[in-house]
């Protein structure tokens, strides 16, 4: 009896391409969201940019269009169900489907928990967790009809460990919720061929960390000193990871939390 033929290996680089697919990125106007949107466009994806700030979106949309990419943008409050529902329908209409969702929109603030205002607690829940729920819910309906897709949630290392000195336990709670939701949906939607994964970044260079650097430079330097690789992450670090989870390169990956923290949580 002859041996079974060996499985053919697809070209690894080709498996990272997203030609013919549409990706939607929330919080795409600046920082890590901008970098992830640009990364998805670079590997051939059509991109719908979503943010609450129209001025930020204009610049990113222009960057992608000038590079020859297909892009659209819309203003959406991810905590508003009707706006999210309309956004998903608009994405399908303008860009021909929805194959990748990146739930990146997020907010935080600093306060000792015993002094935390209820409005700050509710704002973090509304954007970070309810926004992920609403966008995933309506994106999944489109993906189910198409035969599958990839949802990538932005969690945080702060959803895995206590954030020493951060004074943002409300933010940590929402990111822990995002991780639990990611794992649960990966199981629930597997039958629809929808993969659900999360990224858990460590400290990254963002407008929020830039403000911290200006407000408390000593604490900022202390944070860098806690990172084994000795630097904060960049948009490029996140963009590469998002492309991996969005593409066929990660076809057998679902329910995973990819920690991108330069070794911070390994200590």
The whole-angstrom separation of Cα 82 and Cα 64 is 28
Q: Which residues pair with 260 in a beta bridge?
A: 201
CA distances, 254 to each of 10, 81, 150 (Å): 20, 26, 9
Q: Which residues pair with 103 in a beta bridge?
A: 153
> 194: which 2 tokens?
């929808």
> 219: which 2 tokens?
């604490």
Q: Give catalytic status of residue 133 as yes or no.
A: no
The whole-angstrom separation of Cα 143 and Cα 162 is 35
Selected catalytic residue, list 138, 171, 203, 220: 171
Spatial contact of 175 and 194, defined as CB atoms under 8 Å apart: no
Rg (CA), the chain: 19
CB count in 10 Å sphere of residue 82: 9
Q: Give catalytic residues, as residue numbers.
A: 171
């Amino acid at each position: 009896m002859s041996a079974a033929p060996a499985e053919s290996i697809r070209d690894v680089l080709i498996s990272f391409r997203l030609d013919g697919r549409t990706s939607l990125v929330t919080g795409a106007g600046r920082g890590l969201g901008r970098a992830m949107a640009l990364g998805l466009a670079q590997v051939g994806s059509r991109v719908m940019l979503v943010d609450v700030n129209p001025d930020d979106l204009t610049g990113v949309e222009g960057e992608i269009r000038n590079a020859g990419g297909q892009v659209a943008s819309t203003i959406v409050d991810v905590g508003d169900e009707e706006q999210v529902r309309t956004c998903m329908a608009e994405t399908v209409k303008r860009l021909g489907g929805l194959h990748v969702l990146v739930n990146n929109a997020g907010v935080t603030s600093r306060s000792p928990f015993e002094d935390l205002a209820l409005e700050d607690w509710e704002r973090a829940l509304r954007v970070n967790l309810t926004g992920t729920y609403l966008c995933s819910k309506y994106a999944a309906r489109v993906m189910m009809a198409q035969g599958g897709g990839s949802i990538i949630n932005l969690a945080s290392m702060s959803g895995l460990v206590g954030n020493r000195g951060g004074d943002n336990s409300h933010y940590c709670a929402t990111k822990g919720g995002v991780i639990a939701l990611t794992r649960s949906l990966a199981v629930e939607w597997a039958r629809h061929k929808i993969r659900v994964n999360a990224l858990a970044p460590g400290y990254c260079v963002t407008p929020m960390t830039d403000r911290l650097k200006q407000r408390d430079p000593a604490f900022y330097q202390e944070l860098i000193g806690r990172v084994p690789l000795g630097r904060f992450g960049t948009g490029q670090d996140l963009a590469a990871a998002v492309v991996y989870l969005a593409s066929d390169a990660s076809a057998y990956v679902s329910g995973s939390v990819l920690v991108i923290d330069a070794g911070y949580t390994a200590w």
